[in-house]
A and B are shown apart, each in its own frame.
Chain A
Amino acid sequence: MFKAKSILFFLLLIWCSLPLLILLGLSFAFSWTFPNILPRYFTLSHWGEFLFRNNNLQQSFFNSFTISLVVALTATLLGFICSRWVAYHKRKNLLLILTYFPFALSPVIFAICLKFYFLKTGLAGNLQGIILAQLIITYPYATIFFLSFWNNMIKNYQNLAYTLGSSSLFTYRKIIFPIAKSFLLTCFFQCFIISWFEYGLTNIIGYGKVQTLTMKVFQFIGEANIYYAALSSCLLVLPPVILLWLNKKFIVYQNR
């Protein structure tokens, strides 16, 4: 029984990791043509160029990282504050409908609707504009995410702390934030991943002037440059894998 389970787990592991391993292999490959099963030879030149030379791919990686970090941090903080207000509001249901509004349209159609306003305000084609556009998706997502956190129990904790003499700041610092830690981390990770993989909205609002990693992947695929497409895909997968590992380390184990 145990052996069968191990074999099944092993097969599942291979099935999940095979695409990633092929991508990784492809990023080190040189001259891999049909009908060869393996590339003629492997090279470090693609990775070397990315790591040590000032190039577009490096720039797009940092663009993506900056955008995702700012978007995830801002959405998590704003969502946390705003969700409390929504959760305890008399017209919670109405506010909740409004919160869901950005998800009623697909991000691309939504971006086209917003394009005019971004052009008028000079936010189209730059980093700030893309951050703002992505926040329009991630901020309501974070607000909805935190709504379940603000239940009666949390309200009672807060009230109890106040009657013990605690200020709002002290209550948040010592009680609310520590209790919400796993919620905050999960929301941050999820917003980061949403932003990291975002393509349509970024492409339309960014006008192609701000190159992110997802756009680079599409560009390399369009050029049939499979080695660089594989390299940029590996880079695209890297942060989510790290976040999954952090999630396991800090949230799953902590909650056990």
Chain B
Amino acid sequence: MYLKVENIVKAYGKRKVLQNASLQVPANTTVSILGKSGCGKSTLLKIIAGIEQQDSGNIYLNEENITTKKANRRNIVYLFQEALLFPHLTVFENIAFGLRIRKQSNDHIRMKVNSLLEQLEISGEALKLPDQLSGGQKQRVAFGRALIINPPLILLDEPFSSLDVETRATMQQLYKSIANSYSITALFVTHDLKECLIMGDSIAYMENGNLTVYDNRTAFINDLKTGVKGEINFWNTLN
């Protein structure tokens, strides 16, 4: 397994947020985690990224134990709900940020950023500042900023939740195509049932800090707590 999360426990005071959460993600696949707001899914992602500290449990990436490694040494990119583009940097410089950290040459940076801008269909926006972009464009830039350093794992924390329905669908398709072409390994967290089914190669469900990982889609659909059956019944009733 490429990512292995073992028995993660996390509590804030007396409130237990994660209770022995375990998960495995094979290479080049996306696992989506469905759960209501406040169920602990974002905390799990932050712990994997290294920006939150777990109380106990281990994390392995490509068979290396990264549990105690600092966030900036893990090479795992966390994409927040908001695009969080650096407001004082242009689109070009936002995407180039990871390469500037790695002290790449200007020619190399220009070549890589321009190629990504083209792939993300935002070539014309390179010199704009973030506040001149639409919500969808901002998320594209955030993707570009993550992809440019070719991270072994990307963690997506409801990245499309603030977008309108149409843009959201476009971004989901864009992510799928990019995930295929870049062979991305990712964990995708969402509270949207449909998005969870579209985005994940496999699916997990989180409730009150307990994580259930399903062997296949049918098992996920048949589990009543996931709410899929209820959703199907609703649409059938309309018919």
Contact = CB atoms under 8 A, between A and B. Distances in A.
Interface string A75-118: 00000000000000000000000000000000000000000000
Contacts of A151: none
Given A165-B98, A174-B100, A157 B84 contact: yes
A50 B72 CA distance: 57
Given A160-B84, A162-B51, A167 B100 contact: no
Contacts of B140: none
A164 B51 CA distance: 12
A23 to B, nearest CB: 41
A201 to B, nearest CB: 38
A153 B82 CA distance: 10
Nearest to B93: A174
A160 B145 CA distance: 10
B72 A165 contact: yes
B51 A175 contact: no
A139 to B, nearest CB: 27
A166 B78 contact: no
B149 interface: yes
A159 B78 contact: yes
Interface in B90-104: 97-98, 100-102
Interface of B: 46, 49-51, 70-72, 74-78, 80, 82, 84, 86-88, 97-98, 100-102, 145-146, 149
A-B pairs, 6 with minimum CB distance: A162-B71, A159-B51, A163-B78, A162-B72, A178-B88, A164-B98
7 contacts: A159-B71, A159-B78, A160-B80, A163-B49, A163-B78, A165-B102, A166-B72
